[in-house]
Amino acid sequence: MCIFLTVIVSCFMTISLIFILNATLISTIMCLADRINHHISLLHKRSFCLHCGHMLLWYDTIPIISVIMLKGKCRYCQQYFGCHIAIFECLGTIIGTLLFSNPPLWITGLFLLFFSLEDWHDKSIHAYLLIPWLVYLIIHVHDKQHLLMTFSILSISLWLVFIRRAMGSGDIPVLLNLALINDLNGFALTLFVTSILALIYLTIKRTHELPFVPFLFIGWLIVILSQKAIILISG
Ligand SMILES: [Zn+2]
């Protein structure tokens, strides 16, 4: 009984620590993307309100909890910045905790969250930040199937970017990353779900352009979380 209780407490502590780590990382990534999108220096140490410039106290920067306690408003100027931040932080933390046991998926997820926020705001991303991660993946995931798929994706992407001008060059490293961490079925499914989501967005918004990375990110999340759920259900 005592051993059983120790195991339960140990599991609870581990999951709690992973949850807190993910909450902190997701909140930091959202803050970094917000600063870059608003052209604010990353060297600015303390967090502050983007509306009134007032420095935030430590208890105003606790992931998820602070936004809920403040009801999505600045404590000082009462400017509403939105409760959606708490929802994103909460969802991101849960998904991050679920992916934590698979480092390639987890790290890719963190990168894609950052790029999605950038792409959604500016329709451009700092894609070169992915290059060291891609080099690492190519060195460690060097089976023929993945390398052949990656090379094919690179060739098609270069054609779409430079000949057809149907895609931004920043999308290429993101697609290569997904090709390297998925098998062929997973990658094809991701593209299929992404296309459906993008088509729905284009139809509703009645536009011909969209930030591709957020749709790719959501499409990929739907596929890997569905795969995990199927494995769990089928035992
Ligand atoms: Zn304020």
CB count in 10 Å sphere of residue 204: 8
Cα torsion angle, 157, 163, 166, 170, sign: positive
Q: Report pLDDT for 194.
A: 97
Q: How much distance in Å is there from the Cα of 6 to the middle of ligand 1?
A: 46
pTM of the model: 0.90
Q: Which amino acid is at 107?
A: I
> 80: CA distance to ligand 1 center in Å?
9
| Residues found in the chain | 235
pLDDT at 1 (0 to 100) = 62
Residue extents of the structural domains in the chain = 1-101, 103-235
What spacing in Å lies between the alpha carbon of 118 and ligand 1's midpoint? 23
Residue pLDDT tens, the chain, 235 long: 678 888 889 899 999 999 999 999 999 999 999 989 888 888 777 888 888 989 999 899 999 999 999 999 999 999 998 888 999 999 999 999 999 999 999 999 999 999 999 999 988 899 999 999 999 999 987 788 888 988 999 999 999 999 988 888 889 999 999 999 998 899 999 999 999 999 999 999 998 889 999 999 999 999 999 999 999 898 7
- Residue 72 CA to ligand 1 centre (angstroms): 11
Measured in whole angstroms, the distance separating CA 87 from the mean position of its chain's CA atoms is 14
Output the CA 56–ligand 1 centroid distance in Å.
9
Model pLDDT, residue 122: 87
What residues sit around ligand 1, an ion, with C-beta below 5 angstroms? 49, 51-52, 74, 76-77, 79
- Distance (Å) from CA 217 to ligand 1 centroid: 31
CA distance 212 to 6: 47
**CA of residue 60 to ligand 1 center, whole Å:** 12
